[in-house]
Chain A
């Protein structure tokens, strides 16, 4: 089980200590949810010492994640009390209508403020070793909360991006591809693909539904020009593509290369 489990980690290069700051974009669709990658990354990050997650939830309440993570063997309530899992419940968030300038009240700006505060606190108290991951589930609902303005959502993402370069955070964004399928040019998706260092796509199998395989994940790592706190790392340019299929089980997700499952 451990071997197959590591496939996703391997593809993401998480086993490497040198993580660097990066942007991970997960694209999924109605038929195949990519939420399992989020759950996996939560568990993975919390199992590392001195790491912190700031979770911005637009789609599900805390109890949902708590239940799933408990099945995966991770106690979110405890982690939240320890201050390693910041959960920002945004289910009821609504940006006020009207002038853009008035967005400053109660909208995305204050949300960003909360994130920045959490990141700053963690990096000031426990030294620089803390690796902070900001997760957003999901960006399409954030766009809805921002009154359908993808520009505002992108502004918000840009500010989160400045945190990745200032504090070495990782940014994980989930988005739904098919929400924009009627648009010729989904600006938000394209912009995010430009931002992404790692792009994960979850799709259903082309051959249709199967009992043994739930879907297919393709993973594109574009180029890692890692900038670590003012250090321009040479030799970090790399493109990597992995394709594998997965099956969601009760308490874990099994990943395997196509054809390797008997």
Chain B
């Protein structure tokens, strides 16, 4: 499903519609949001480069990673060196988001205002001024695609960093202005959901057409618990988790899908089919007061029970009481006591139905009218 998200970002938006928007949401339990963000970023970049996508350029607002990190990332994924390409521009809010460095170099002559490393990078030094940021994004984006009908995409890493400095409403204002701009084809941003209250997360989710939520698989959760409690040393070279993708279609239909991911050295891999997802579907059944499912042991026990009609004709004495005295028993005059009829204990694996007759006096199935003695 991660693919369909990338496709949706690639296809962008229709004329007169808001831009497609994606929220990548993670939490400390599964803190790999950056990896997903980078995955989406590289996918979109390669789509832009091969001009498969609606957008012709990308403006990346880097707040939690340095621009050189993204530069190296894209290069390592085999995407052409973007110094020579005029399709990406990074707005650097990482190196000096509050203008401290500039202030220091002016007042105390410490350091120098770091010159922009790449031509396609612009530093902005006041993260609190969202109006300036908005006009900067649009100006830079127009520089990439030109004034005409060309469109570009906007990526923000991460909005959690912004929410530390600005209010939720002003951030929401910025995002909706971005989505409403007619030259912006798609936007996506990263959010660390546990750093904010539920309201902030919900607002950002409302504003996006797609949400990717990262969750821990129950398997990896168990594993983590055992590691923390028992193991002294544990090392692994890949990280696993699952993502939940919620996509809102143009016609208003909402689709939720689950997928597992695996991060290793070469990048991210997604796999949809997993036995675990079946259990997820099962647990989606409405909650009822009785148990609908059997545990494995219960199922085995159930299968082991030999039903009364099953062993007839196997050469065994038929032990089912059919309402009459058995002929053989009648001749011998010895009526089997209930204890004799009890199955041997060693046989317990098989299971039997044990029946105790209430009393010998009872005349079963007599033709008498049971209501005979009633004086009506």
List residues of chain A with CB under 8 Å of any chain B CB: 11, 104, 109-110, 112-113, 116-117, 120, 151, 154-155, 158-159, 162, 165-166, 185, 187, 190-191, 193-194, 218, 222-223, 227, 230-232, 234-244, 257-258
Contact = CB atoms under 8 A, between A and B. Distances in A.
Contact of B72 (A162, A185, A227, A242): A227
Contact of A159 (B100, B237, B265, B266): B100
Given A223-B239, A234-B76, A243-B233, 8 more contacts: A112-B104, A116-B104, A166-B114, A231-B72, A232-B76, A240-B234, A241-B231, A244-B232
B203 to A, nearest CB: 18
A258 B165 CA distance: 44
Interface in B96-139: 96-98, 100-101, 103-104, 108, 110-111, 114
Interface stretch (B63-71, B144-152, B253-261, B296-304): B63-71
B152 to A, nearest CB: 25
B116 to A, nearest CB: 14
30 contacts: A109-B104, A110-B104, A112-B104, A113-B108, A117-B108, A117-B110, A151-B164, A151-B165, A158-B97, A159-B101, A185-B195, A193-B31, A194-B28, A194-B192, A223-B239, A227-B66, A227-B72, A230-B72, A232-B69, A232-B73, A234-B76, A237-B264, A237-B265, A240-B233, A240-B234, A241-B233, A242-B232, A242-B233, A242-B234, A257-B232
A109 B164 contact: no
B172 interface: no
Contacts, number: 113
B228 interface: yes
B72 A232 contact: yes
Nearest to B76: A232
A66 B266 CA distance: 46
Interface of B: 28, 31-32, 66, 68-69, 71-73, 75-76, 94-98, 100-101, 103-104, 108, 110-111, 114, 164-165, 192, 194-195, 227-228, 231-239, 263-266
B68 A241 contact: no
Contacts of A112: 100, 104
Contact of A194 (B31, B68, B233): B31
B234 A241 contact: yes
Contacts of A242: 232-234
A151 B233 CA distance: 35
Nearest to A187: B195
